Structure 1
Amino acid sequence: MGTQTTRRGLRERAVASGAPAMAAAPAAVRRRGGIGRTLGDLGLWIAAAAGAVCIVLVILAVSANITLIMFRTGSMSPTIPAGSVAVVQRVDASRMQVGDVVTVDRDDELPVTHRITSIGPGATEDERIITMRGDANADDDPFPYTVTSVRTVLFSIPGIASAIVGMGDPWVLGTLTAGATVLVIWAFWPRSGSAATRTEEGLT
């Protein structure tokens, strides 16, 4: 009994003398890590959202023939100014209508994205002959286009083409990858506050 009482007394005295410091330590750790933790969590959420967007774009590209195109010139201004990115969907030529803004692929040349001004029949049932004009141009394009399918513009976002192009730069990709790695390591790194909490719980 005397030994048990002595041990209990020692434990009670240790808890009484060390409890304030032990309780203050986790609080200090929480205060120091609060802002950093919030910023880190925000970074992880942003990275997760960006990853989700990429996954959705891949799924749409495969399942619905939806892709992105960038506008380097202002031939479609002011509707779609230079530096815009448009979301386009490939459709059969039979679904086109006059007034649609579409992208036509050309052999050995860059695609052209203009507004349809007329549609005529082609040599086959699936083929159409169209004329187009940029909104900023006074005249139609100098020659018609024979198409069986086009990419119709669903909507556009101005001013983000340069950012998307920049994402393809190896230095940018490397920086983003390194940043994401640091965020993941930081998120799962053991916290000193957890050890202090376990020590306090063991003494009480």
Structure 2
Amino acid sequence: MSTPTRRSLREQAASVGEPAGLPAGQVPSGSVRGARRGIGRVLADILLWVAAIAGVVCMVLVVLALTASITLIMFRTGSMSPTIPAGSVAVVQEVPASEIEVGDVVTVDRVGDLPVTHRVTSTSPGASDAERVITMRGDANAGDDPYPYTVQTVRVVLFSVPGIASAIVAMGNPYVLGALTIAATTLVVWAFWPRPADSRRRRTSEEPG
């Protein structure tokens, strides 16, 4: 005859305390709570992964801005529609004016005014080897811009993503940033907070049999 151990005695006591049976189709309340916790944990993991990916993207953009002069610009108007509609965000890279070719979509900085992003329609040498005089036109416009631009560097559009400008603008709102920070902190604390079931399992595994 085997000698009862503390673990076997606990298991017997638990089995005695369990209900003999449940009506057909009825699920134990503990199972329902466990399923809800499981779904909550999956959603938390998904949100954490999304936050982690967003963080990685932000870090990559910072590195690219510092090492490759790659930044973002937002399109508030539709002068480049339908190629780049209003509300788009474009990834641009600063390049020397000597590399500009007709057909490129570039951003030119203007003193005392907002930058303009249009398609290059002509280019000619400037006063120095590094300088170019270019004319540009928006794809939605009937004619070239009113005057040419004398530039030594421009930002050429690499690609654009439509419809995300408003989201990026919202990220600059202090109230939105504060809400996102609080939500992210709450999510991390909730995801990593010890669960009672986990604590019980750890205590059980640490007790000798």
TM-score (normalizing by structure 1): 0.88
- Residue 125 (str. 1) matches residue 121 (str. 2): no
| 1:30 and 1:193 in contact (8 A); partners too | no
| Identity of matched residues, % | 61
Deviates more, 1:28-37 or 1:80-89: 28-37
- Residue 17 (str. 1) matches residue 23 (str. 2): no
Change (3 A) 1:138 1:14: closer
Instruction: Select 1:140's aligned residue among 119, 122, 144.
Output: 144
Instruction: Give, in whole Å, the separation in 1 of the partners of 2:201 and 2:140.
Output: 67
Match of 1:4 in 2: none
Instruction: Give, in whole Å, the separation in 2 of the partners of 1:111 and 1:173.
Output: 27
Match of 2:100 in 1: 96
Change (3 A) 1:27 1:199: farther
Q: Deviations over 1:110-167 (max 9, x none)?
A: 0000110110110001000001111111111111100001000001111111111111
Structure ranking higher on relative contact order (CA contacts 8 Å, 6+ apart): 1
Correspondence 1:162-201 to 2 at 5 A: 162-201=166-205
TM-score (normalizing by structure 2): 0.86
Match of 2:40 in 1: 36
Q: CA deviation at 1:12?
A: 4.2
| 1:133 and 1:141 in contact (8 A); partners too | yes
Structure 2's unaligned 5+ residue stretches are 19-27
Deviates more, 1:8-17 or 1:32-41: 8-17
Structure 1's unaligned 5+ residue stretches are 1-6
**1:198 alignment partner AA:** R
Instruction: Select 2:86's aligned residue among 74, 82, 88.
Output: 82
User: SS at the partner of 1:119?
Assistant: strand
Deviates more, 1:30-39 or 1:117-126: 30-39
**1:132 alignment partner AA:** M
